[in-house]
Amino acid sequence: LNKKIDKFSDSVIRRMTRIANKYDAVNLSQGFPDFDPPAELKEALKDVAGGSIHQYAVTWGAANFREALAKKQSDFMGIDIDPEKEIVVTCGSTEAMMAAMMTVCSPGDKVVVFSPFYENYAADAILSGADPIYVNLNPPEFDFDPEELEEALQQGVKALILCNPSNPSGKVFSRSELETIAELVDKYDVFVITDEVYEHIVYPPNEHLYFASLPGMFERTISCSSLSKTYSITGWRLGYLIAPEKIIDGARQIHDFLTVGAAAPLQEAAVTALNFDKKYYQELEKKYGKKRKLFLRGLDQIGLNYTKPQGAYYVMVDISEFNFKDDLEFCKWMIKEVGVAAVPGSSFFKGNIKHLVRFHFAKKDETLKKALERLEKLP
């Protein structure tokens, strides 16, 4: 088999979901909602099912989907995005990230990844023939040392991966942090591949800034995102990448041969979501703000230590006090004995950090309450 397979493991996030299901635990591991998408969206899908869009869409995305997306993202990103030349619609941001990496990297290239990181990035880098170099986001604040970043970038790096708001840390990069990164990627002529799937899940006063919107950065940025988290449709697998035309030309070529394209009927139905007005996004932010409050208050009552997330829907909890061999042992024990599943933090970190576990709170309030009741049993 391909030797690259030995360089990464299966997804621990998805493995934890399988174990959680086996033991009927409340699953706060793999981050996806247990509530429905907006009713209009379900209706739109029903209408599409009865219609005639059941064959391939244009490989880089149906025209009306790209138009609606360009309009929405131009508005939020403050950039004028051309739906004809600057977008590729993909099978989730998972494919967007993979295609982005394959578009810019040749075998032997180096890619900078902030650690902790969403586990796909290392596998994406390796599969595209590149070697990841890690730069630490140091818990509990998850800040980085600009000198460490510069040292990494000096090693002839092709691209930097930026997940903002961050999975798993919940960090939202500040303007000054993004400016530091911008200065350095400019100095060392490095592409930036963003993962901004939590762009609309940010807790005030924190604010999410699109990296591509920083002065001069659009030219070197591939902005990847998806509809999964924003519209609670993780199973629809609709994502996209936005970049300047010359990058997009390459990305379209890669994407065409990877998947031909994202599901045409789902793109058609999702146009309804892309046309939602601003109020939808304000409500979404409020909804997650309430869930964060409920879950963190519960953790406070139980007496657990954590880093307060600034965005996304994850929280990293410190388990040092429990005296387990490591976070994986803790998570397995918690599934079986407490009935709650989380992801061992070590699956996100490069290096020896084993005292954190990641819970997600994209669940109905009743699910979160049930999980908290169970967590009260922690010794």
CB closest to ligand GLN, residue no? 31
Please give the full DSSP string across 300-328, using - where no structure is assigned.
Answer: HHHT-EEEPPSBSSEEEEE-GGG--S-HH
Closest CB 215 distance from ligand GLN, rounded Å: 30
Q: Is 269 left (phi over 0), alpha (psi -120 to 50) or beta?
A: alpha
Nearest to 288 by CA among 318, 267, 309: 309
Quick check: 347 binds ligand GLN (CB under 6 A)?
Answer: no
- CB of 357 within 8 A of CB of 317? yes
Q: Whose Cβ is closer to ligand GLN: residue 30's or residue 367's?
A: 30
Q: Which residues of 287-309 are buried (b: 16+ CB within 10 A; e: fewer)?
A: ebeebbeebbebbeeeebebbeb
Pick one of 14, 71, 278, 297: the residue that binds ligand GLN (CB under 6 A). Answer: 14
Quick check: 311 binds ligand GLN (CB under 6 A)?
Answer: no
Q: Whose Cβ is closer to ligand GLN: residue 30's or residue 232's?
A: 30
Quick check: 18 binds ligand GLN (CB under 6 A)?
Answer: no
- CB of 367 within 8 A of CB of 26? yes
Q: Which residue has the tokens 């009713």?
A: 39
Residue 275 has which token pair? Answer: 């046309």
Residues from 93 through 152 that contact ligand GLN (CB under 6 A): 118
Pick one of 90, 136, 167, 347: the residue that binds ligand GLN (CB under 6 A). Answer: 167
Q: Whose Cβ is closer to ligand GLN: residue 125's or residue 157's?
A: 125
Closest CB 54 distance from ligand GLN, rounded Å: 26
> Helix-strand-coil percent breakdown of the chain, rounded to 5?
45, 15, 40
CA separation for the pair 33, 228 (Å, rounded): 10
Closest CB 165 distance from ligand GLN, rounded Å: 12
- CB of 291 within 8 A of CB of 312? no
| Piece of 24-32, 72-80, 218-226, 300-308 that binds ligand GLN (CB under 6 A) | 24-32
Q: What is the CA radius of gyration of the chain?
A: 20
Quick check: 194 binds ligand GLN (CB under 6 A)?
Answer: no
Pick one of 27, 30, 223, 232: the residue that binds ligand GLN (CB under 6 A). Answer: 30
* Helices of type H across the chain: 12-22, 39-49, 63-77, 92-104, 120-127, 146-153, 175-187, 245-259, 264-274, 278-302, 327-333, 365-375
Q: Whose Cβ is closer to ligand GLN: residue 274's or residue 342's?
A: 342
Closest CB 216 distance from ligand GLN, rounded Å: 30
| Piece of 28-36, 63-71, 272-280, 294-302 that binds ligand GLN (CB under 6 A) | 28-36
Closest CB 118 distance from ligand GLN, rounded Å: 6
Quick check: 169 binds ligand GLN (CB under 6 A)?
Answer: no
Residues from 32 through 91 that contact ligand GLN (CB under 6 A): 32
| Piece of 26-34, 95-103, 200-208, 254-262 that binds ligand GLN (CB under 6 A) | 26-34
Quick check: 13 binds ligand GLN (CB under 6 A)?
Answer: yes
Closest CB 160 distance from ligand GLN, rounded Å: 20
Closest CB 311 distance from ligand GLN, rounded Å: 13
| Piece of 29-37, 44-52, 106-114, 272-280 that binds ligand GLN (CB under 6 A) | 29-37
User: In Å, how far are 116, 228, 329, 359 from 345, measured between CA atoms?
Assistant: 8, 23, 12, 10
Count of residues that interact with ligand GLN, criterion CB under 6 A: 7
- CB of 340 within 8 A of CB of 334? yes
Strands 131-136 and 110-115: parallel
User: In Å, how far are 19, 319, 338 from 147, measured between CA atoms?
Assistant: 41, 30, 42
Chain centre distance of CA 189 = 25
Closest CB 155 distance from ligand GLN, rounded Å: 28
Quick check: 31 binds ligand GLN (CB under 6 A)?
Answer: yes
Residues that bind ligand GLN (CB under 6 A): 13-14, 30-32, 118, 167
